[in-house]
Amino acid sequence: MTDRYIRQTRLAEIGAAGQGKLAAAKVLVVGAGGLGSTVLQILAGAGIGEIVIVDHDHVDLTNLHRQPLYSMDDIGVPKADAARRALLRANPGIVVTARSERLTPNNATALVQEASIVIDAADNFAVTYTLSDQCWALGKPLVSASVLGLSGYVGAYCGGAPSYRAVFPDAPEVAGSCASVGVLGSAVATMGSLQAHMALHLLLDLKPGTLGRLVSFDGHTLQFGGFSFADSPEPLHATPFIGLADLASDDIIVDLRGVAEAPILPRADALRLAPTEIDQLASAHGDARIVLCCRSGQRALRAAGRLQSMGRHNLALVALEGDPS
């Protein structure tokens, strides 16, 4: 062992054995933006043996205030590639794989299956639920975080703990984005640091465990909160995200976007309904599967929740923004 990790191996909780666990780990990080930028630097510094980065975006000038992994020279470069180069400059003794692509229902299974632990740093509805479903099915721990404005939260799901769906079965009625609401770089770094710490805590098998716990941070009041969700029940009916390529010929496809937002329907026989018109589907079309589509998945999740409350359960969701078809 080199002197690189000597300050952390001196910790009684880590030592040579703990460092060996980190070196043997393969961590999947989905999202190399604000959260991912901090997460990746900490994991690389800690000596994670292999890191797989999945991000479809490119570095933009507006990213730099909250994504310190990048510099002006990286503008226009795929984030996954720029992140890989930065991590290997900092620690050439690890393996870093860059995948400049979206996380979708089509590639999620293979990516999650190969990982020791999954970190959801995408802050995207469809990605979070897709990763939670895959981690729950494959028994892999998922550390997911979200941040907006000056506040955020991070939790450790699946891998023996309840899934993200058990804690957040429904999408919020109102949600913003960093682009529409804004975000402070220090809040992002705080949540990213907590996310990385949770991941290292899990990989080192420290006690008490973090699975089934959520930590929140209010940057206005500088207060931390949180709760245990270890006993949260899984929803009886979980509506999965799928890709357009997974549609069956007899599916009833419902596009929740307006004409101005999406003049072309995802399939010629698709219906176009506003979210306020969704109740009419509760008893229509027999037992056929209803596939709800929107840009990010948020409206589709809410509509699915409404239909489930009315007894309709043969449902699926498509987030068209991230569909590769």
Phi, psi of 305 (to 5 degrees): -60, -40
User: What is the Cα–Cα distance from 95 to 102, expressed in whole angstroms?
Assistant: 21
Amino acid of residue 266 = P
User: What is the Cα–Cα distance from 287 to 270, expressed in whole angstroms?
Assistant: 17
What does the chain come to in residues? 325
Say if CB 315 and CB 308 are below 8 A apart.
yes
Q: Under DSSP, is residue 172 helix (H, G, I), strand (E, B) or coil?
A: coil
User: What is the Cα–Cα distance from 317 to 293, expressed in whole angstroms?
Assistant: 6
Of 135, 178, 293, 294, catalytic: 178
Question: Catalytic annotation on 294?
Answer: no
Q: Would you tell me how many other CB atoms lie within 10 Å of the CB of residue 14?
A: 20
User: What is the Cα–Cα distance from 116 to 26, expressed in whole angstroms?
Assistant: 5
- Give the residue numbers annotated as catalytic, written as ranges: 178
